[in-house]
Amino acid sequence: MLDLSTLHSVVEQSYREFGQAPGGANADYIPFLANIPSDLSALAVVTANGDVISAGDIHYRFAIESISKVCTLALALEDWGAQTVQQKIGADATGMPFNSVMALELHGGKPLSPLVNAGAIASASLIKAENTEDRWNRILGMQRKLGSPQIKLSSPLNESEQSTNFHNRAIAWLLYSSGYLYCDPMEACDVYTRQCSTLLTTVELATMGATLATGGINPLSKERVLSPDNTPRILADMTMEGLYDTSGDWAYTVGLPGKSGVGGGILAVVPGVMGIAAFSPPLDDIGNSVRGQKMVASVANTLGYNLYKS
């Protein structure tokens, strides 16, 4: 049984110890992200019972970025089922950077993972939709159901990304040429870029993790968001590719499915128990929040949560 006062002190302690850890730099290839104050920092746990424990800049809304890939994958699984998603996108690590074109070229144009840019653009294209706005609204709807109804698009962030996303546009066309894209390529890239441009708090991110931890019921809204058959697939994908090309190191040192984004957010899931989320903008060379990784790892390690432990 989880003791709430222990949980409070572990969150406080992990935030105090690692919330301002040195090192890293804001992402600068998206101009909006380069200007976010680097000293912002927050840590939150949401349990499967709906308890919320948090520390730091918990009201600050940051860019979801790559963590949005988890939500769109969830919707693709709900729309099509696990077998189709595995066949059309894949469930393996690419072993290469998140926006690698080489990874596509080496595998006949198949993206391999829904948690790298190519696979995420393919996931966005798979969503059942009448038109672009319908596709976007369904994806935003899934972010809100998993996390919170307060999650919204940031127009300045979206404009900053849409005016610099040339590499992702190229990826969309490559996917199209190899038969792994399922709507108009520029529609898929536009919607993918919007899904990365929403803002959320660290508690809302931890709520997404808690919804995955319960097998698909959001513990705050009590709504069933995902079929229980789909959450193990999402967690498996997060284990394989959630922390870019250091996903293996994360599994080795922390042992929990995770996902990070270049906005500085990071999420880990303890199945059946909780979501643990952190935010702080400075990233390591791979694209993971330096402080976020340390804060989340500290909570998990201190509480003894590691999937590979007997």
CB 188, CB 124: distance < 8 Å? yes
Cα angle 247, 248, 250 (rounded to 5 degrees) comes to 65
Binding residues (CB under 6 A) for ligand GLU: these are 65-66, 98-99, 117, 161, 168, 196, 261-262, 287
Nearer to ligand GLU, 62 or 176 (CB): 62
Nearer to ligand GLU, 66 or 247 (CB): 66
Unique residue bearing structure tokens 């000293």: 39
Distance (Å, rounded) from C-alpha 96 to C-alpha 103? 6
Which among 289, 287, 244, 251 has a CA at the least distance from the CA of 269?
251
Nearer to ligand GLU, 145 or 194 (CB): 194
Distance (Å, rounded) from C-alpha 12 to C-alpha 15? 5
Nearer to ligand GLU, 258 or 287 (CB): 287
Nearer to ligand GLU, 82 or 101 (CB): 101
Nearer to ligand GLU, 123 or 214 (CB): 123
**Cβ-closest residue to ligand GLU?**
66
CB of 34 to ligand GLU, least distance (A): 13
CB of 132 to ligand GLU, least distance (A): 18
Unique residue bearing structure tokens 């702080």: 280
C-alpha distances (whole Å) from 65 to each of 98, 117, 194, 196, 218 are: 12, 10, 9, 4, 21
Both tokens of 8, joined, read 């409070």
CB of 27 to ligand GLU, least distance (A): 8
CB of 33 to ligand GLU, least distance (A): 9
Helix axes 155-162, 185-196, angle to 10 degrees: 140
CB of 81 to ligand GLU, least distance (A): 26
CB of 284 to ligand GLU, least distance (A): 13
- Which sign, positive or negative, has the C-alpha torsion 12, 39, 120, 117? negative
Nearer to ligand GLU, 47 or 117 (CB): 117
CB of 3 to ligand GLU, least distance (A): 35
Distance (Å, rounded) from C-alpha 122 to C-alpha 119? 5
